[in-house]
Amino acid sequence: MATGEFGQAVRRWRDRVPPEAAGLPAGGQRRAPGLRREELALLAGISVDYLTRLEQGRAANPSAQVVEALARALRLARMERAHLYRLAGLAPPGPDAIPADVTPSVQRLLDRLTGTPVAVYDAAWTLLLANPPYAALMGDSSGWRGHERNGVWRHFLGRGSSRVRHTPESLRGFEAALVADLRSAVARYPADQRLRRLLGELRANSDRFAELWDSGVVGRHEAARKTIDHPQVGALTLDCDVLSVAGSDLRIMVYTAEPGTEDADRLALLTVLGTQTLV
């Protein structure tokens, strides 16, 4: 159970994170040098009210997902992250679990790509964080919880439709790559109980996933040009690259446009529109 000590630690670490280090504007009068409470809540994808209750010791039993989100937003080192888990009454993720911590070097990379849509996923395609341009391009993910943050679950079981346009051939390749990646994650992390629950739910509730899984389909994600149907700026055709981070099993998805094209202009426009919406 989280105690007042958990809230005190969050508050202490919040005070030491300058807003510019989190990609936020540093202007205006600030009573503290670190993040405001509403800024940390936004970065962690939780409500300001819930964060307030956590910091004041009035909320107990934060989930592992909430603790992980706070650790990422606060840019905690590995030992600090483990300490925050223990203060919440949770066991820190062990070596058998899929890594979910975004390394400081990856975080700095995102901080420098302020005009480029970038998202970071774990080995099972669970979204760990997305920068504002990515949210503007693909939709706001801050309200997603649990399996909803997993790209495989969203594709096969989610109610919402993706903004990425597919042909029948590209859809088959995309689904094959998703299933193959999940199979690889299960093989590498056989003791990860959250991953096992995800797999069980997919096999039980998606005939298409079960068919692909049982067939042993293989595939992989490759660099590709994708057309995104955006509700405000229309269709954009962008290059999508998936970069792997050695040693951490993270995937960084990056969307870019060819300079001087209408797609580049539309990407710049929606980035501005999205930033205004999120402020």
154's enclosing H/E stretch is helix 151-157
Distance of CA 63 to the CA centre of its chain: 16
What domains lie within the chain, and their CATH numbers?
Answer: 4-87 (1.10.260.40), 104-278 (3.30.450.180)
Task: Compute the average pLDDT of residues 189-208.
Answer: 94
Average pLDDT, the chain: 87
Q: Which amino acid is at 152?
A: V
Tell me the whole-structure pTM to 2 decimals. 0.77
Q: Are 34 and 15 in contact (CB under 8 A)?
A: yes
Structure confidence by residue, pLDDT tens digits, 51-77 = 999 999 888 889 888 998 899 888 888
Q: Is 237 in a helix, a strand, or coil?
A: strand
Stretch (H or E) spanning 255: strand 250-256
**The predicted structure's pLDDT at residue 50:** 93
Note whether 30 and 104 are within 8 A (CB): no
Contact indicator for 267, 137 with CB cutoff of 8 Å: yes
Cα separations (Å) of 187 from 124, 126, 144, 178, 195?
Answer: 11, 17, 26, 14, 11
Q: Which residue's structure tokens are 């679950």?
A: 153
177: three-class secondary structure by DSSP: helix
- What is the token pair recorded at 273? 């529109």
Contact assessment for residue 68 and residue 91, using Cβ atoms and an 8 Å cutoff: no
The pLDDT tens digits for 111-167 are: 888 889 999 999 999 999 888 899 999 988 877 888 889 999 999 998 767 899 999
Q: For tokens 């809230």, name the residue.
A: 7
How far is 127 from 72, CA to CA, in rounded Å? 12
What is the biggest distance separating any 2 CA atoms in the chain, rounded to whole angstroms? 60
Report the pLDDT averaged over residues 207-234. 89
pLDDT at 9 over 80: yes
Q: How confident is the model at residue 103 (pLDDT cuts 50, 70, 90)?
A: confident
